[in-house]
Chain A
């Protein structure tokens, strides 16, 4: 008995979620029972996901389990094992270490936040958001002089820039959150060629400034329209109930207000 032919149209419709639940289940069962059919299906689906990259990225939530798994599998340079070639025989075995120095591994590392909530969809860059809210510990960005950043955030008007040890701080805008806290959007760009930077949002409460959001763009890689860290910062702020950048007078009033 010959197998019924499944058309590319049906497979495409399945991939695009255009079949009814019942039809989809039945067709999927056929697909998973036949690896050749499965491969045709997977390729048709894959073209859709490749095309998605042509559009605008938007942040999507991912479970921490996957982030933890990537982190675990991503051995830091310090732990990379050199490859040893042992030549047996002769006066003694002679190990030859041929360490793998990958240019990629020798790059920068931006510390993971306490928890990821949103990941920039589909293009290079990730963002980290702390659990947020009053009294939360916020994100610790290693190597960043917390005191220097806080001092700058307390005093420098939006549009201004300050040189920090970590790089050049440029403050973009101030926002007021739904919970009343003052937040400020900024970028820190690495001093020097090719040093990566990031977009950040710090919020101030009774204990001072805390980093609540970081969007980092990895070193330039081919094939991606970089997710705008600023756009992601905006999305984060909107999500927290910010209503838009404060005008200079309102900003000054809040900066000078009770700390």
Chain B
């Protein structure tokens, strides 16, 4: 790569001048924005806070890019960054008694000696975890989380009470989290 000029595409024709463009890593972040925003919305229940969280997460991801293990799932890493930023903001709010803006410039992992649990999942992690689960858990997870069924629709389709849907689903989600090594700090 030593013969590359700044801004030159490594495997394509040269870019004229410094006409913008995103690095592959940033491009992947862009492609994850819709899911990241919906995750942030689920956490914050506020459109503006959600976008603040999404933005801070992407900025943090770019800043900490060197820590991302190539070959692992960027979405899982990005979500865990968002989770940590959100929890840190809540902790700060609790300590200081006021609402803190979610800040991408909070200490990077290790800077203050804290171990931050950021997830590193491989391509197969989720599939493998699903394969290890009881069939009825797997089926419910697919129905609700992948196919987007409501609890009521799932209860009708599987002919089980909604209460059973809820208890089975939460156990399945908890089981998946455990198998994926996602745990509270």
User: Which residues of A are found within 8 Å of B83, using beta-carbon distances?
Assistant: 39, 42-43, 46
Q: Please, which residues of chain A bring their CB within 8 A of the CB of B24? A: 104, 107-108, 218-219, 221
Q: Point out which of B11, B19, B54, B169 has the most chain A C-beta atoms below 10 A from its C-beta.
A: B11
| B-binding segment of A5-13, A90-98, A130-138, A202-210 | A5-13
Q: Given A47-B173, A73-B59, verify A190-B180 contact (CB < 8 Å).
A: no
**Hey, which bits of chain B sit against chain A, CB under 8 A?**
1, 4, 6-7, 9-16, 18-35, 37-39, 42-43, 45, 51, 54-55, 58-59, 62-63, 65-66, 70-76, 79-80, 83, 86-87, 90-91, 93-94, 121-123, 126-127, 141-142, 144-147, 150-151, 166-167, 169-171, 173-174, 176-177, 180, 182-185
A74 in contact (CB, < 8 A): yes
Q: Which residues of A contact B28 (CB under 8 A)?
A: 124, 218, 221
Q: Is A53 part of the contact surface with B, judged by Cβ < 8 Å?
A: yes
> Are B13 and A166 touching (Cβ within 8 A)?
yes
Q: In the complex, how many angstroms separate the beta carbon of A122 from the nearest chain B beta carbon?
A: 5
State whether B58 touches A66 (Cβ < 8 A): yes
A195 to chain B, nearest CB (A): 4
A254 at the interface (CB under 8 A from B): no
**Provided the pairs A39-B185, A106-B10, A109-B21 are in contact, do residues A50 and B166 lie with their beta carbons within 8 angstroms?**
no
A46→B181 CA distance, assembly (Å) = 12
Which residues on A are within 8 Å of B, measured CB to CB? 7-9, 11-13, 15-18, 24-25, 28, 32-33, 35-36, 38-55, 60, 62-63, 65-67, 69-71, 73-74, 76-78, 100-112, 116, 119-126, 140, 142-144, 165-167, 190, 192, 194-196, 216, 218-219, 221-224, 227
Find chain A residues with CB under 8 A from B65 CB. 102, 104
A186 to chain B, nearest CB (A): 17
The CA-CA distance from A17 to B96 in the complex, in Å, is 30
CB within 8 Å for A104 and B23 given contacts A35-B91, A51-B141: yes
- Contact flag A35-B22 (CB < 8 Å), given A65-B51, A106-B1, A196-B11: no
Of the listed residues A42, A125, A167, the one surrounded by the most CB atoms of chain B closer than 10 A to its CB is A42
